[in-house]
Amino acid sequence: QPDASPGYCWPFQGSRSEVLIRLPALVRPIAITVHSTPQITAPLGTVSSAPRDFVVSGLDEMSKDETLLGTFTYAVQKEPAQTFSLQNGIRKAFWFLKLGIQSNWGKPGYTCIYRVQVHG
């Protein structure tokens, strides 16, 4: 959803989780953009619920084999929408991408993702 106002996010419990994204077509992904709320508009000026470390994998619909496409860190001090280039040596198309959140910026109860875009 395009609204990145504080609280209008997809929250999940804890600081670790996985999201499986079904793509509308077979896609060879080249980048992924992760959105959070701007730090300046966040209550108390903190975005501790933003994702920090995450991995992106591609999954084939038929075999369910998982291909690691990259390991990244979302930096809260940068722009709220950050684009990460995926491993360009992999020339395979996927029906699914898995976004695995490994940690957030300190919020113990939940992690919020506002928007994820796949480029390919």
So what's the pLDDT on residue 4? 55
Task: Look at residues 95, 68, 70 and name the one whose alpha carbon lies nearest to residue 83.
Answer: 70
Structure tokens at 30: 């080249």
Q: Which domains does the chain have, with CATH numbers?
A: 10-119 (2.60.120.260)
CA 29 to chain centre: 14
Q: Please, are residues 116 and 72 in contact by the beta-carbon 8 Å criterion?
A: no
So what's the pLDDT on residue 45? 58
So what's the pLDDT on residue 1? 47
* Residues contacting residue 1 through CB under 8 Å, at least 6 positions apart: 8, 114, 115
> How far apart (Å, rounded) are the C-alpha atoms in residues 53 and 75?
9
So what's the pLDDT on residue 57? 95
State pTM to two decimals: 0.86
So what's the pLDDT on residue 49? 87
Mean pLDDT of successive 10-residue segments in the chain (120 residues)? 64 88 92 81 68 94 84 92 88 92 90 90
Cα dihedral sign for 95, 101, 105, 109? Answer: positive
